[in-house]
Amino acid sequence: MSISRAFLEYFETEFFQGKPEEFEAFQKSLLRPLKKTLRINSERVNPTEFKNKRSAEGWTLSPTENALAFRVDREDTATALWSTLEHLLGDFYVQELSASMSVWHLAEGGTGPYRKWGDSFLMLDMASSPGGKTTQLLEHFPNSFVVANEFAKERISSLIENVERMGTSDRTGITNMNGVLFGALPETFDRVLLDAPCSGEGIGFKAEESLKYWNVKNVKTIARLQEKLFVAGLSALKTGGEMLYSTCTLNRFENEGVLENVASAFPGTFETVFQKKFWPHAEGAGGFFVAKIKKAAPLPENEKIFRRSKNDGLSKISDRDADRIREALENLGTPDFGEKTHHFYRYRNDVIAVRKVNGVPELADACYFLKFGERIGRLEEGKFEANWSLGKNRDLRNVAKLLLRDEKELHRYLSGFETELVADSRDSTGPIPNGEKVVAAPSNHANLAQIVYRDRFLGLERIKNGKITNSFPKEWRRK
């Protein structure tokens, strides 16, 4: 693959004058594929236990600067990484190291060990697909809510899939807007992440055009868009709040230049807390740039270009329906999930649960969400009926468990097949017909079963004619 002469001349002049050996190493690093990395989801699994179990299965997880991100090698690759049970359940996210570092620096400031924060934040991820950064934000800030915006409509489906797979639906609202429009929601968010659209120099090994056709004119055009997005994010950020600006580029126009131009246009509105450029030949990762800023003063009032678009069909649950939902959840056995922790909405007949965070109800009126919170069931003729998702993300203590006995049964379930209840001579006093795979629970939910494999919840299913239905999402199923 060729690299634009304009690119080589610019970088040699700006960064590598008198350093021919380092410049050659830099060029080679741009074209060298990176080793696959994954980020462990510590909300789902204990990182130490995850590493120990995977090591026993022939995985080699090599540590990186991010305490939860590891370079991965596997002895057995018969099952694709994305098709493993652990991936489907959201135990980890396949994510390049550079992509994981933006959130890490927003949460940690580049120093100190990994830790979770107890703060309840309203956050904005301005360019969020495919969802790695959004779900990572909620891992660092588990009591928070993220507005995950993506401008490209064709990328929305992957964002929704990953938010649901990683178990963060109830803390996420997904929008499909030009990020510049968020500037008309001033002083709204506690944290803002702008991993900006860029020329992609740092990931040239998988985006050949970024290096082959690189020229200063195009780069400057992209930088102007980045400045507009930066100003919008800064406006939407509360005074005293923090914003992380990052790119997978290395030139000055899209990085230092954006900070300098915005600071010049709006003097005194922010201070740069942390700034670093990561060179691929030095870091062994994709090239990228991060800058963490703190807002010091409000921006001048923007023209109100943000047009409110009504969420047709979305409404707060009525008192009567709230009572029905509360009673149903108590009967299912979810003591830690209810009105104390969540707002409940109704979208047509769907029941939606949204984590209680200050400012979220107001956003429901100000933004049009393609997806808002987690769908946990439906209201049909005044009765609440729980769905598959409710049983994936929570222990339903009053629902019988159906234990998948081996990898073969697991594979059939993950592939979308129904599961038969096999009767045998063992006694069972539970609501499900006798069967060696059933663990009964004190319940009157005779038509329900929570699918379990090795102490992991796979979802809530229904029993029909001696078979367990299969509601495992089609987009996650094994082929």
Q: Which residues are catalytic?
A: 248
Q: Which residues of 381-419 are buried (b: 16+ CB within 10 A; e: fewer)?
A: eeebebbbbbbbbbbbebbbbbbbeeeebbebbbeeeeb
Q: Are 360 and 343 in contact (CB under 8 A)?
A: yes
Integer distance in angstroms from the first to the last C-alpha of the chain?
33
- Can you tell me the distance from the alpha carbon of 456 to that of 451, in angstroms, rounded to the nearest whole number? 8
- Max intra-chain CA distance, the chain: 82
- Can you tell me the distance from the alpha carbon of 278 to that of 276, in angstroms, rounded to the nearest whole number? 6
- Can you tell me the distance from the alpha carbon of 182 to that of 229, in angstroms, rounded to the nearest whole number? 9
Instruction: Determine phi and psi for 189, rounding to 5 degrees.
Output: -105, 145
Contacts of residue 259, Cβ cutoff 8 Å, sequence gap at least 6: 230, 245, 272, 275, 291, 293
- Can you tell me the distance from the alpha carbon of 313 to that of 334, in angstroms, rounded to the nearest whole number? 27
Q: Are 379 and 344 in contact (CB under 8 A)?
A: no
- Can you tell me the distance from the alpha carbon of 89 to that of 167, in angstroms, rounded to the nearest whole number? 8
